[in-house]
Structure 1
Amino acid sequence: YPIIRFKGQNRIRKVSYHLSLNGEEISDIHSINKSDLPPSADDNFNPHLLSPTISELWDTLSLLTSNYDEVIGIFSSAAISPMYNIAQKAAAKLEANARIHIIDSRTSSVGLSILVMQAAIQAEKGESSKTIIQNLYTKIPQIFTLFNIPSLSYLYYNNLIDRSQAFVGEKLELLPYFVIEEDDFITTDKMRNDRHITDYFLEFLNEFENVEFVSFLHSTVLNSQASKLIRELVKHKFPDAEFFEHKIPITLAILFGPKCQGMIVVDNEVL
């Protein structure tokens, strides 16, 4: 994994999810390994993410506003997580709410990290919160997020699709793609085999014109055949773009299932 260090990194404070496993809340989400997750969730084993409560986020924001002049909270897309809406409610209850800015990233994982890093670097340079927020809202539409999710049952237990859609889709062995598009988490196409999955990622990438950054997330070994093909396309079509591959983090594995794959693209052509 690439280890990226940057000025302003010390300004970042992470808000973590909790884990619910078969109805039992577990505060340390890393107490479960990706290898513990079965291909499908069911009534006997159904991990899902729990966002912090309003009270917990109130405590976090209260502490931050007592130590800093202003706080910018950037959260995973509200289309896949309630944490953004919970943070808004928590901020509204604070007397210092005028100094708190809650932002829906409209992405997740690496896409979220890109926005957080940008904000932290600009804060370290002394940019005003107004400028930082304006630049975030410029960058957000430039980030495109695509996931292939064969384990639809995980989406059901995380309240993202209904039960019949999840279990019929898994029974038919569909391999659907989902995108985060503004306020929605929507399916685009359904594949039938792994080769078509890779082809779709390549077609998705080919739609862009001025790519700055590409991240390929997956659950297999690093430098797989799929990642090699994607890397070659980036090198050929976007020679100045950065390419990284990552194994999916435990949060995504619990949310989308252990077999999910994803691509994050930053395209500067979008204004």
Structure 2
Amino acid sequence: MPSCCIIADNAAQFTRVNFPENICLRFINFKTEYSFINPKETNHNSGLDFPKHLALDKDPIIRVPDYDEIREVIETSVNQFDDVFIILHSKEINPAYATIIALLNKIKGRAAVHLIDSQSLSIGQGFLIQSAMDLISNNTAGNLIEETLREHLPHIYTLLCTPGLSYLHNAGYIDKGQSVVGEMLSLLPIFSLEDGTFTPIDKLKNIHGVIDYFIEYIDEFDDLFQVSFLQTTTPAIQEAKLIKQYLDENHPATIYTEHPHNNYLSSLIGPKGFGLVVIENN
């Protein structure tokens, strides 16, 4: 049986926490200026709470991993394993993607390297990582694993909603004017990850309207596998229970999960942002 390693980044989130011990899972860690984690528990975060707004002239709050840190993860992996699967969050919003491509062109090892742009992040990216683990556990050949993961890509859909447009401005996805006007009007813009890129699709006036939009969006699918709601920081959005109620009544076989978003996602959409990930069968 070939030895396998998965390299991901910490934009990923997972619907399960127990992974096979015989599969190596390594992370390229983006650092964030703010954190939900006590600073005593990590060397990478300051532990400062996420503010409601960011100053328009503030430096980016997401820190790209050091070049040598990325190189060490890749170099040791390709020399120790037969197959290395690198499953990253969307290259369109991933400031380290170009560095990783450049390193892969330089570093040679025994491994067959399978680079996957998830065109997603959070639960969508995590779903691909979990799928890779399942396939590895079933002794699936490396090329077939890559092919299967790529077949999943067009069946993963992500919607993100945020009142904190200053965070999107800080990350470079909207300009200063859009950030100021959007927050002044107190609208809730909804973005879709279209081919991995933040794409505005609607603006609504309140959370209940956004939840209704999410339910109508889910209703467009005929063959659902999983629906995941990405919760805000406390207090949680209670209206999310309407999504579960809709699924229980109309798609009882569909997996439903809720997750507080991690530091990376909060650094993109703010602590009061929330979202929906829909995965259909393929």
Percent identical among aligned pairs is: 30
TM-score by length of 1: 0.88
The separation in 2 between residues aligned to 1:135 and 1:222, in whole angstroms, is 38
Quick one: distance in 2 between partners of 1:9 and 1:261?
A: 34
Shift of 1:82: 2.1
Match for 1:103: what amino acid? I
Q: Which residue of 2 aligns with 1:32?
A: 47
Residues 167 and 268, structure 2, Cα contact 8 Å, conserved in 1: yes
Cα RMSD over matched residues? 2.5
The letter of the residue matching 1:242 is I
Aligned-pair distance for 1:105? 0.2
Tell me the distance in 2 between the aligned counterparts of 1:131 and 1:201. Answer: 34
How far apart, in 1, do the equivalents of 2:119 and 2:265 lie?
15
Please say if residues 226 and 279 of structure 2, whose CA atoms lie closer than 8 Å, have aligned partners that are also in contact.
Answer: yes
Q: Given the superposition, is the C-alpha separation of residues 190 and 223 from structure 1 closer, same or farther in structure 2, using an over 3 Å criterion?
A: closer
Partner Cα distance (2:252, 2:77) in 1: 41
Q: Deviations 1:35-70 (Å, cap 9, x if unpaired)?
A: x11211115866621222443322210011121112
> Which ranges in structure 2 are unaligned for 5 or more consecutive residues?
1-13
Mapping of 1:117-128 within 5 angstroms?
117-128=130-141
Deviation, 1:222, is 8.0
Structure 1 residues 44 and 185: alpha-carbon distance in aligned structure 2, compared to 1, 3 A threshold:
closer
Aligned partner letter, 2:179: A
Match of 1:238 among 251, 263, 277: 251
Say which structure is richer in helix. 1
Aligned counterparts, 1:126-141, within 5 A: 126-141=139-154
Aligned counterpart, 2:62 = 49
Question: Per-residue deviation at 1:108?
Answer: 0.6
In structure 2, the residue matched to 1:192 is 205
**Which residue number in structure 2 is paired with residue 104 of structure 1?**
117
Q: Which amino acid aligns with 1:166?
A: S
1:193/1:224 CA distance change after superposition, 3 Å: closer
Number of aligned residue pairs: give it: 263
SS, match of residue 52 in structure 1? coil
**SS in structure 2 of the partner of residue 38 of structure 1:** coil
Q: Is the 8 A contact 1:216 1:246 kept in 2?
A: yes
Give the aligned residue type for 2:209: H
Kept after mapping to 2: 8 A contact 1:75/1:112: yes
Among 87, 94, 98, the residue aligned to 2:107: 94
- Structure 1 unaligned blocks of 5 or more: none
Q: Write the letter of the residue equivalent to 1:96.
A: G
- Aligned partners of 2:173 and 2:43: how far apart in 1? 23
Shift of 1:183: 4.1
Deviation at 1:11, TM superposition (A): 2.1
1:126 & 1:136 partners in 2: Cα distance?
15
TM-fit CA distance, 1:8: 6.0
Q: What displacement does 1:136 show?
A: 0.4
2:156 is aligned to 143
Task: Using the TM superposition, give the Cα deviation of residue 223 of structure 1 relative to its aligned residue in structure 2, in angstroms.
Answer: 7.4
SS in 2 for 1:13: strand
